[in-house]
Amino acid sequence: MNYINELRKVIGHDLIMGVGCGVLIEDDKGRLLLQKRSDTGEWCIPGGALEPIETYEEAAKREVFEEVGIEVCDLRLFGLYSGKEREIHYPNLDVVYSLAVIFITNKYTGEISDTSDEVLEHRFFDKDSIPKELFYCDARVILDWKEGQTKVVVK
């Protein structure tokens, strides 16, 4: 089921509210995995929309697998995000206000893949090499990670 696509059939591009789940994935060197979006060319964290009846953790794991091709485990809550930067205007004119539940982990299995239609590439970045071209709704999350936030941040 793709709940958002079903809603779009009824309301078109108008604003809808949803919940997004994402994962900050660190490698064994403490670098952060970012993915370059195919729609904007900007860097973001893996994640996507919560489907009905799914838990936050199930959604985060599913989205990472769909977009990155790896299975994540030992997810820890990193932060809850809301506010103006969570109003997302997509290139196709869809508008979503996406409350975000963000996890963090350094445990995953599998090989990172760039085969998802949503992603141009994946790359690990250390704190000093985070690109400036960040997708605006993930920028605060990535900067919190960069600044060493390791506890739950509510914004």
Tokens describing residue 111: 């090989």
Domain ranges for the chain = 3-154
40 neighbors 137 (Cβ within 8 angstroms)? no
* The CATH number of domain 3-154, selected from 3.90.79.10, 3.40.50.720, 3.10.129.10, 3.90.1150.10: 3.90.79.10
Residue type, 67: E
How many angstroms separate the CA atoms of 14 and 58, rounded?
27
**DSSP helix/strand/coil, 126:** coil
pLDDT tens-digit readout, 40-81: 999 999 999 999 999 999 999 999 999 999 999 999 999 999
Prediction pTM value: 0.91
pLDDT tens-digit readout, 89-139: 988 999 999 999 999 999 999 999 988 898 999 999 999 999 999 999 999
